[in-house]
Amino acid sequence: MNPFTEKSPRQKLHLHYLDGLRGIAALYVVAVHIEPSLGEKLPRFWLLFQNTLRYGAFSVVIFIVLSGYVLMLPVTRSQSGFVSGGLLEYFKRRSRRILPPYYATLLGCLLLAFAIFLLEKFTNFQWDEVAGKGPFFPYFSLIDVLSHLFIVHNFTGSTYMTINPPMWSVATEWQLYFLFPLLLLPIWRRFGLLAVVMTGFGLGILPFYILNDFSMATSSWFIGLFTLGMAAAEIGFSQEPKLIAFRKSLPWSMMAIIFAIVAFITEWKRLGLPIWIGQSFFGSSAACLFIYCTQFVISGKKLPHVLGVVEHPWVITLGAFSYSLYLTHGPVITMLRYFLYTLNMTPFMFATTSYLMGVVLSLLIAYWFYLIFERPFMSNFNRCK
């Protein structure tokens, strides 16, 4: 028997660590978007804490790599090279998963903005930009609304940060869903794994240098990060002898750590490096981590203690409604800030209350939103048959 062959796992896989990682990343984004300052200098403790919240973009990187990984898993495990059920069924599944919560959030933001408009028109209330500083804006144009309706608001810098700014990455991921079966999979089937990764980064990085505004708005280099997720799934589950040997021979955990360290170094703004470099290294770290963790799942072993938190039941539950949390936290923490601003708190109390209440309220509302607008439309997102 060839030592580089394995029995292909056909049983259902429950990759709980993916939910855990998604949940932690979403919660970190909430903390990043909380604005704890009243314009006055906060105590040194708060300044040090805020310095740890500079890497919200890395959470989005995890979402994108994870998306490529999860979409590629059934393709790899089926050994067909095609999405299950055909293109039409694939797009139906993606639409059911993404669009109902997205449009529910958009409608909620528009209604909130309309309520603020009515208050300004018929009362003495005027929106205070300092009090309302946060990831929600009640002022926008018809173009902003239309671009969000058609999920192309990330095409220009003037629309992608309006209404509910965190929603820009939903548009980018939605567009990647089309590239996956129509472009990336055909390249993978015809030319192989290395070719699709090189194509992804080529298509993603080239606009950065020739169409910089478009590239920055769309984060075009995310195409390459998405293909890293595809590669991680293929390496983790392929039955090709070369890839099995590759999977078994490399120190994936150490590589994940090294790539993460390099990502934080290259992200340092004083170096003046393009943004795609640090994010690409972090995406490589995430891909290596996925391969490493999946090896434990396949062999029926528990993750090392240092990674055990991502499989804690609470963290897995958080991951289950992380998409709702990501969508809804912007207006929640912005309106909370507006309320707290009226209470004339000290800067320390304002910051403390902003984080404590902001996180708790975001979680509560997101879970309620998930039960109504997300869970009824969900399929087995992290379960591969």
Task: Print the SS3 string covering the chain.
Answer: CCCCCCCCCCCCEECHHHHHHHHHHHHHHHHHHCCCCCCCCCCHHHHHHHHCCCCHHHHHHHHHHHHHHHHHHHHHHHCCCCCCCHHHHHHHHHHHHHHHHHHHHHHHHHHHHHHHHHHHHHCCCCCCCCCCCCCCCCCCCHHHHHHHHCCCCCCCCCCCCCCCHHHHHHHHHHHHHHHHHHHHHHHHHHHCHHHHHHHHHHHHHHHHHHCHHHHHHHCCCHHHHHHHHHHHHHHHHCCCHHHHHHHHHCCHHHHHHHHHHHHHHHHCHHHCCCHHHHHHHHHHHHHHHHHHHHHHHHHCCCCCHHHHHHHCHHHHHHHHCHHHHHHHHHHHHHHHHHHHHCCCCCHHHHHHHHHHHHHHHHHHHHHHHHHHHHHHHCCCCCEEC
Locate the domains of the chain by residue range: 54-303, 312-376
Q: 160 versus 133: which is more confidently predicted? A: 133
Q: What is the pLDDT of residues 348-380, one digit of tens each?
A: 899 999 999 999 999 999 999 999 999 998 865
| pLDDT score at 55 | 92
1 pLDDT above the threshold of 50: no
Q: Which residue has the tokens 């390496």?
A: 235
- Kindly report whether the global pTM for this prediction surpasses the value 0.85: yes
Read off the pLDDT of each residue in 28-35 and give the average, rounded to a whole number.
96
| pLDDT score at 8 | 43
| pLDDT score at 383 | 42
Beta bridge partners of 13: 384
Task: Please enumerate in sequence order all residues whose Cβ is within 8 A of that of 267, keeping only pairs 6 or more positions apart, or say none.
Answer: 55, 58, 273, 275, 278, 279, 282
Q: What is the pLDDT of residues 38-58, one digit of tens each?
A: 877 777 777 788 888 989 999
| pLDDT score at 379 | 65
Tokens describing residue 96: 């059911």
Binning pLDDT at 50, 70 and 90, where does residue 11 land? low
Binning pLDDT at 50, 70 and 90, where does residue 382 land? very low
Read off the pLDDT of each residue in 92-98 and give the average, rounded to a whole number.
95
Q: What is the pLDDT of residues 205-256, one digit of tens each?
A: 999 999 988 889 899 999 999 999 999 999 998 888 888 899 999 999 999 9
User: Which segment, 4-18, 31-45, 169-183, is predicted with the most confidence on average?
Assistant: 169-183
| pLDDT score at 363 | 98
Distance between CA atoms of residues 156 and 160, nearest Å: 6
Q: What is the pLDDT of residues 120-133, one digit of tens each?
A: 999 999 999 999 99
